[in-house]
Structure 1
Amino acid sequence: MEQNATELMLKGYGLTTAEFTYCMPDYIHVLNTFVWQEYDLAPDHPNLFKFIEFWQSELDGPLHSVRFSHRKMIAPGEWRNVVGEFTIN
């Protein structure tokens, strides 16, 4: 069953963004980049590693490097007490 983003975030998922740098299949000395984004669980990142395995087994361009970041989208709210009064004419 497909879950929406809010349900995933409430279960602890966060947004993982990965930048794949890979060699072009026909021009091995030319590097290109691909950006991938998916909701994933830190610190194991099962969706990211599943995608890397897919890349290595199914695609021709060998990976040069992978950089990724992970951010939980639902975090405790920030609260600050503001004391003041503004008069508008």
Structure 2
Amino acid sequence: MTDRALVAQMDGYRLTTAEIHYYRPDYPSLLQLFVWQDYDLPPDFPVLFDFLGLWRRRIEAPLHSVRIAHGALIGPAAWRGADLVRSVD
């Protein structure tokens, strides 16, 4: 059995987070925040834009803005040498 997240990362997908600000339908002068997170392919973000398309078609709350962040989770290990070595006596 394989982990979907690991397979996605091996295919170039990155953990993507989007802050979606939208106007509340019942109070159009108020903004609400929705946080979306999934694995997606930068820089085109097809999964996120599919979700936003669904939002526009099915949800009555108009979008105000979307802020996107992504990061690579798989990478080479970092190694740092110690500046101090202590003897154990």
Shorter-chain TM range is 0.7 to 0.9
TM-score (norm 1): 0.87
The residue number in structure 1 matching 2:34 is 34
> Matches of 1:87 and 1:64 in 2, distance apart?
60
The residue number in structure 1 matching 2:59 is 59
- The aligned amino acid for 1:26 is D
> Matches of 2:12 and 2:72 in 1, distance apart?
8
2:8 is paired with a residue whose SS is helix
Q: What is the aligned residue count?
A: 88
- The aligned amino acid for 2:45 is H
TM-score (norm 2): 0.87
Where does structure 2 lack aligned partners over 5 or more consecutive residues? Answer: none
Where does structure 1 lack aligned partners over 5 or more consecutive residues? Answer: none
Out of 77-86 and 11-20, give the one that drifted further. Answer: 77-86
1:20 is paired with a residue whose SS is strand
Query: Structure 1, residues 6-49: CA drift from partner, whole Å, max 9, x if none?
Result: 11111111000000000001111011000000000111110010
CA-based RMSD of the aligned residues comes to: 1.8
Identity level (%): 43
1:88 deviates by 3.2
Q: Is the alpha carbon distance of 1:21 and 1:87 closer, same or farther for their aligned partners in structure 2, counting shifts above 3 Å?
A: same
The residue number in structure 2 matching 1:85 is 85
